[in-house]
Structure 1
Amino acid sequence: MRPDFNRYPLLVAWEMTHACLLACKHCRACAEPDPLPGELSTEEGLRLLEELATYTPKPILLPTGGDPLRRPDLFVLLAKARELGLTVGITPAVTPLLTREVVGRFKELGVHQMALSLDGASPEAHDGFRGVPGTFQRAMEALEWAREVGLPTQVNTTVTRLTLAELPGIARVIVEKGVATWEVFFLVPVGRGAVLSQLSPEEYEQVMHWLYETSRDQGIKIRTTEGPHFRRVVTQRRRAEGAEDQALVGHGRGVHLSDGNGFVFVSATGEVYPSGFLAEPGGNIRQRPLREIYQHSPLFTELRDKSLLRGKCGVCEYKQLCGGSRARAWAETGDHLGSDPRCAYRPRAWQG
């Protein structure tokens, strides 16, 4: 049965801490070595997990950061999530804190998948983007450690002008290391990423066609973040090829997540955002339950109503499938319901 995203999210990302030892050029959070004042306590984190366990269906929990390994109570919280029957996909930073023993502990605590960032296919490219020498080699080791213990992995890559030429090499690494999923992030100019150079709409379109062909030809499961146009591209290409009209992307057939629609982001201090890239709060879990904020905040109810979309996105025949990146519309135009400025597609109703 298809989940009702008006009631509950399918994915809940929790920014467990702002602290991280890396200095990545694209960092949404502008993370620093130390935690923010007033981050959620262990008790508050446990209450959040207990609430999530009451949702139907139970959502997938995505502990992120910063670096979750910078929280001293991380394993206490993971053990609680396992006890509550929550599916967990964790995104640790690749630092000396990520050891073989830690990867084994993730497996023991029932973590479903570990996601690591990879923005270059060589030490020079990746370490330059991440800001710390040795990060590429440690990521390669961590992927091997995960394979040794049978922990599925995901690689996260952000598409910018700095990383565009690295994509074919990263795809090769993914195949060689037996990575289960490639999550491709299309840059939203927030945080440190605000100073990076984005691709043009036409270049983004070319990348999405390349991703489709790579997924089809190399058997890589590819998902996109802030790139919902990929669903349109997949649909168009499969129809043109006479294939069955089912997506290679997403979290199940017919399930299409977007900012505030099946996806929610809880910040380190409890603010609730539609995504980590759309930092417009709907409320704070210290004042109201996450369920109430997600179901009733005007921001979230607007984002789930595709009839409210404006401009080109509002008349697009693919708006239910895609709907454009709401975070990018917000970041580049100030309007979370406006058109995605990085979409090259011209809807039939827009053509004159």
Structure 2
Amino acid sequence: MTSPRTVRQDELDQPRPIYAVWEITLRCDHACAHCGSRAGPAAREDELDTAELLEVADGLVRLGTREVTLIGGEAYLRNDFILVIRAIREAGMRASITTGGLHLTRKRAEAMVEAGVELVSVSIDGDASAHDRLRGTPGGFQRALEALGHVRRAGGRIAANTQINRLSHGTLLPLGERLAAEGIVAWQLFLTVPHGNAGDALDLVLQPHQLPAVYDELQGVLDLCDRHLIRFWPGNSLGYFGPLEHRLRAVLPEGHYPGCQAGRAAMGIESNGAIKSCPTLGGPANTGGHWREHDLEAIWTRAPQMRYVERRTLDDLWGYCRECYYAAACMAGCTAMGEAVLGRPGNNPYCHHRALELQRVGQRERIELLEPASGEPFGLARFRLIREWSDPERRAREPPIVVESSRLPSSRPQRGTLEP
């Protein structure tokens, strides 16, 4: 879950990984149809051992990291995950965990809280039917709620995170009431990104033209969060200057989307020591380096992949986003979403403002699968983006207005190439 701590603009003047999302294992006890990292029963072959994990924690605090969220896979499936929490806390950083909660027992919850974890966010994706189908586990919804209860009774603060897709859309308001009754303090929502497993399952992914209905539902979610004093935390894939933008990002000093923070205030770490500017970006083109080959500071300061977002200019935008009124502020939204949908960042059809502007002139957009995603974590499928008329009769008579296919990624240095 994205940190509930607000990052001040002055903290971005000298980029540093204030917030790190750290996958300590790819091993998982769920089988999620929408999992970007394709986590499952097996860990990565070359995952860091306990001593290496503790060294990474020490390196993070030297870089100025203030909060670390442990993820997986499923972090608690490592026998040493409590040691990692303690190391984070003893170094003076905040520790949180994002979990599916399937086997988050009372004993594990008590150990996590005792070790110093400040927030546990449980992934709950819609009502029981949607959640259990998405996560491939009958009874998983109830187990997730029980996990929240275990942490709360152990004295920990609890939160939830929810992916919005075709199954969970329409279930968010009753889910929110249930989560409020459990005592959550924060709720993060974000759109399912069509990469990894979700790149193979387009039937789960919302189409861009469905976004106005999604934001109608989110308006009710915002009202619910206000009533129950729950902090609404928008994922990077939500928003972009629609009429709800100021409410979606009320937690930010800007009051609107500030652009992707990958490599500016955030860092992703994979369980084998691969370092990325964002935990949901995948592949060699997005890997700045490997902790076993270079120390964290060298990768953070000298790997071009870590500086990509910071150095991006308007000339890197294309398609609809290049001509948008909000281009300079938004910079095409979520880098991971743009790359997943169209092969490279810079043009993002999953935008509330864009969907409404097209709707106003009787148009809509949809994506069409050309080639399934690779089998790697966060593997990219190939899509075609089609802009067409909203009216079905006109759509049947006339050809698409615009068709854009996936573009090859812009040229980037390979992993391990550090600048002087």
Residue among 135, 149, 163 paired with 1:144: 149
Please tell me the root mean square deviation across aligned C-alpha atoms, in Å: 2.8
TM-score by length of 2: 0.73
2:42 corresponding residue in structure 1: 34
Structural mapping, 1:55-74, within 5 Å? 55-56=63-64, 58-74=65-81
Q: CA 1:253 to 1:126, structure 2 compared with 1: closer, same or farther past 3 Å?
A: same
| Kept in 2: contact 1:271–1:283 (CA 8 A) | yes
Distance 1:258 1:143, change over 3 A: same
Cα distance in structure 1, aligned partners of 2:107 and 2:188: 25
Q: Which amino acid aligns with 1:131?
A: G
Partners of 1:50 and 1:68 lie apart in 2 by: 19
Runs of 4+ in 1 over 4 A off after TM superposition: 230-233, 250-257
- What are structure 2's unaligned runs of at least 5 residues? 1-7, 362-420
Shift of 1:227: 1.5
Match of 1:227 among 237, 249, 255: 237
Q: Secondary structure at the match of 1:304?
A: helix
| 1:248 match | 250
1:176-215 pair list within 5 angstroms: 176-196=181-201, 197=203, 198-215=205-222
Corresponding residue for 2:301? Answer: 295
Match of 1:16 in 2: 24
Give, in whole Å, the separation in 1 of the partners of 2:186 and 2:241: 16
Residue 282 of structure 1: how far off its partner (Å)? 1.6
Matches within 5 A, 1:1-352: 2-4=10-12, 6-56=14-64, 58-96=65-103, 98-122=104-128, 124-196=129-201, 197=203, 198-219=205-226, 220-229=230-239, 233-235=243-245, 247-250=249-252, 256=258, 258-279=261-282, 280-308=286-314, 309-311=316-318, 312-319=320-327, 321-323=329-331, 324-336=333-345, 338-346=346-354
> Quick check: which has more Rg, 1 or 2?
2
SS at match of 2:211: helix
Partners of 1:15 and 1:268 within 8 A in 2: yes
Change in Cα spacing, 1:235 to 1:166, as seen in structure 2 (3 Å) is closer
TM-superposed CA distance for 1:93, in Å, is 3.0
1:243 is aligned to none
C-alpha distance after superposition, 1:76-100 (max 9, x if no partner): 111111111110110233223x111
Would you say the 8 A contact 1:231–1:249 is kept in 2?
no
Report the CA distance shift for 1:82/1:40 in structure 2 as closer, same or farther (over 3 A): same
Structure 1 distance, partners of 2:254, 2:295, is 27
- Cα deviations by residue, 1:8-54 (Å, 9 ceiling, x for unpaired): 02211111001011101111111121211110111221111101112
Q: How many residues align?
A: 339
Could you say which residue in structure 2 is the equivalent of 1:241? Answer: none
In 2, distance between residues paired with 1:214 and 1:129? Answer: 21
Question: Structure 1 residues 259, 209: closer, same or farther in 2, change over 3 A?
Answer: farther
1:333 to 1:191, Cα distance in 2 relative to 1, 3 A: same
Q: Counterpart amino acid of 2:93?
A: L
TM-score normalised to the size of structure 1? 0.86
Q: Secondary structure at the match of 2:152?
A: helix
Indicate if the aligned counterparts of 2:264 and 2:310 stay in contact, CA closer than 8 A: yes
| Structure 2 CA distance for aligned equivalents of residues 255 and 167 of structure 1 | 22
**Structure-2 change in CA distance of 1:287 and 1:319 (3 Å):** farther
